[in-house]
Structure 1
Amino acid sequence: MTNFYSFHGTVTLISDFFTGQNGKGEGCYKLITVENGLGAIVNFVVSPATYFVDHVMVTVGDRVTGYYDGDAPALLIYPPQYQALVMVKDTPNQNVKVDYFNSQLVSSDGRLQLNISPFTKVLLTNGQLFSRNPANRDLIVIYGPVTNRVPAKTTPYRIIVLC
């Protein structure tokens, strides 16, 4: 179970991130700077393992949310720099939640409960079907409308299982 933290804002800079691997990782890692509009800035290190929802291309000016492991060690620098696990570009009429969902398919913060329908696609990060129950796992949930209760209930369009 990963303790997902997030930061939402506008991409202000995208640059190469050098890993010091003598050219082996050159160009494979990016540093994406995100500003939230209130003066807070975060640098996300994006690796080949970072999952981009819908495999979208992110550019300067895009509104994004970056998710990272809140329990992972971080450098004590400003602006803070985190290894991005999941990146989400804002899309109209689409909500995304990245979290651990328990046996009742309730998120770890207790704010969202999933009702899986036969039309809900449950996939792996490589796009293949996930054939098991997605409960008790870290999930990326793509959904639309929710109920006005706590936890809010939704029938997701798609679930990506983070194995």
Structure 2
Amino acid sequence: MNFQSFSGVVTNIQNFGASAHGEDLGCTMLFSVRGNSGETVNFVVTPHTYFVEHETVKRGDRITGFYDADAPVPFIYPPQYEAWVIAKSSTDYFVKVDYFNDELLSQDGNLQLNIVPKTEILLENAQQFRGRIANRYLVVLYGPTTRSIPAQTTPYKIIVLCI
């Protein structure tokens, strides 16, 4: 997977998809998000989409949606991506979703994790993760970073994506 992100304000939330009989199932939603430059992206939000801190999103909220840039997408405008992770904007932390290798370096090479005993490491269902976090897709909540390349941080919380 090649996680990319798009940030903006949620302008519309609607149900998405129907059963074979044409009835609205209500389990999948479409979030329309307008970016800072006026561009729009639609995120397909399924029951499997992970919401950081399990927050509820509504119209007017500023969010970042993370999606697999290598996944096939319909050739339509505005672009429509399946959201794997949605994070509401926060002044308390930054969010990165990526694959982290044996050295806990992100796949894009921009962030190195330094784990300490107080770092919370959880599964998507908020249960404690007891395995190794190396060589996995992670949702990382973090604060200050070093100015080195790659930037280094001690995350507040890590959510392991079991995908």
1:51 corresponds to which residue?
Answer: 50
Match in the other structure for 1:11: 10
Is 1:146 aligned to residue 145 of structure 2?
A: yes
Deviation sequence 1:113-138 (CA, Å, 0-9, x none): 00000001111111111111101110
Distance 1:25 1:105, change over 3 A: farther
Q: What does residue 118 of structure 1 align with?
A: 117
Partner of 2:156: 157
Instruction: Indicate the larger mover: 5-14 or 15-24.
Output: 15-24
> Is 1:69 the counterpart of 2:53 in the alignment?
no
C-alpha distance in 2, partners of 1:145/1:8?
20
- Segments of 4+ in structure 1 off by > 3 A? 19-25
- Supply the distance in 1 between the matched residues of 2:124 and 2:22 (Cα, whole angstroms): 27
CA distance in 1, matches of 2:22, 2:117: 47
Q: How does 1:11-30 map to 2 (within 5 A)?
A: 11-22=10-21, 26-30=25-29
Fraction of identical pairs, as percent = 55
- Where does the alignment leave 5 or more consecutive residues of structure 2 unmatched? none
Counterpart in the other structure of 1:33 = 32
Residues 15 and 24, structure 2, Cα contact 8 Å, conserved in 1 = no
CA distance in 2, matches of 1:140, 1:38: 26
> Within 2, Cα distance between the matches of 1:25 and 1:85?
22
User: Displacement of 1:19 after TM fit?
Assistant: 3.4
45 and 126 in structure 1: CA distance in 2 versus 1, 3 angstrom threshold: same
The two structures have a TM-score, normalised by structure 1, of 0.95
Q: CA RMSD in A?
A: 1.3
Q: Deviations over 1:24-59 (max 9, x none)?
A: 871111100001021211000101000000010111
Distance in 1, Cα, partners of 2:21 & 2:102 = 45
Equivalenced residue count is 162
2:131 counterpart of 1:132 = yes
Letter of the structure 2 residue corresponding to residue 63 of structure 1: R
Q: Distance in 2 between matches of 1:44 and 1:93?
A: 24
Counterpart Cα distance in 2 of 1:129 and 1:63: 29
Q: Compared with structure 1, are the counterparts of its residues 143 and 24 closer, same or farther at alpha carbon in structure 2 (3 Å cutoff)?
A: farther
SS at match of 1:66: strand
Q: Within the alignment, does 1:101 sit opposite 2:81 as a pair? A: no
